[in-house]
Amino acid sequence: MSRPLLIAIQFLTRFPIRLQGEISATDIGRSLLYYPLVGLLLGGILAAAAWALTDVPTMLGAALVLTLWAGLTGALHLDGLADTIDAWAGGRGDPERTLALLKDPCSGPQGVTGLVLVLLIKFAALVAILESGGYLPLLLAPFLGRSVLPLLFLTTPYVRQGGLGTALAAGIPRSLSKGMLLAVTLATILVGSYAGVLALASALITFHLLRRSMMERIGGATGDLAGALVEFTETTILTMMIVARGLAD
């Protein structure tokens, strides 16, 4: 199996991947090419779990799928979401204060509230998915939620030095990443038709709004902001697809 793919799986999930030897900056950068594939893997597992829980009471099934979702990722992006909300609320528009709060490992009341609300929306979306039996949103949300990360590193300066984020930003293969993003776009549209277009539009609008906020506040991105982007993208896709389905019925 490709070493960059294993790096992507190791970072984005809690699957027991153990890499031997030194990990090069090139391999770290190339791992971004496989983020959509890891998202599709997560989505497939979640859709299979939702299907397997069809005979379980709906709210219990939704809670179990949401727990699995957080467990598969180790709540990695949820942590970034809470830190981001804290920093944006407490930073009061000041870049240095915002960066300091992003680095603070403790979550304040704003971060906890935001985290609970996002999880509540995801839970409600999962209830709707289990009731309808339409599992496409569960495939597309993690898939596109991780596809926006290469787009972020391609288009946005990374403002915190050191760590994995710096290596990702420095080592991303730009030409291959653009080709991969084009493939993601075409695959989403072809597989999902109208639903795919809606999910893709939801992901791009979310990306645009959050990236603009990042640039205005601190002039770039950090690892926590990348995690928040994943969570907001997933939540927006789930919400818009389910609302559109309800309006069409």
Mean pLDDT score, 36-48: 97
Mean pLDDT score, 82-100: 90
Give CA–CA dist 88/105, Å, rounded. Answer: 15
Give the pLDDT score at 198: 95
Give the pLDDT score at 125: 97
Say which range, 74-83, 154-163, 192-201, 216-225, has the weakest mean pLDDT. 154-163
Give the pLDDT score at 227: 95
Give the pLDDT score at 160: 81
- For the chain, what is the domain count? 1
Are the CB atoms for 69 and 48 separated by under 8 Å?
A: no
The single-letter code of the amino acid at 57 is P
SS3 106: coil
Domain range holding 223?
Answer: 3-248
pLDDT (tens digit, 9 = 90+) per residue, 123-164? 999 999 999 988 999 999 999 999 999 999 999 999 987 766
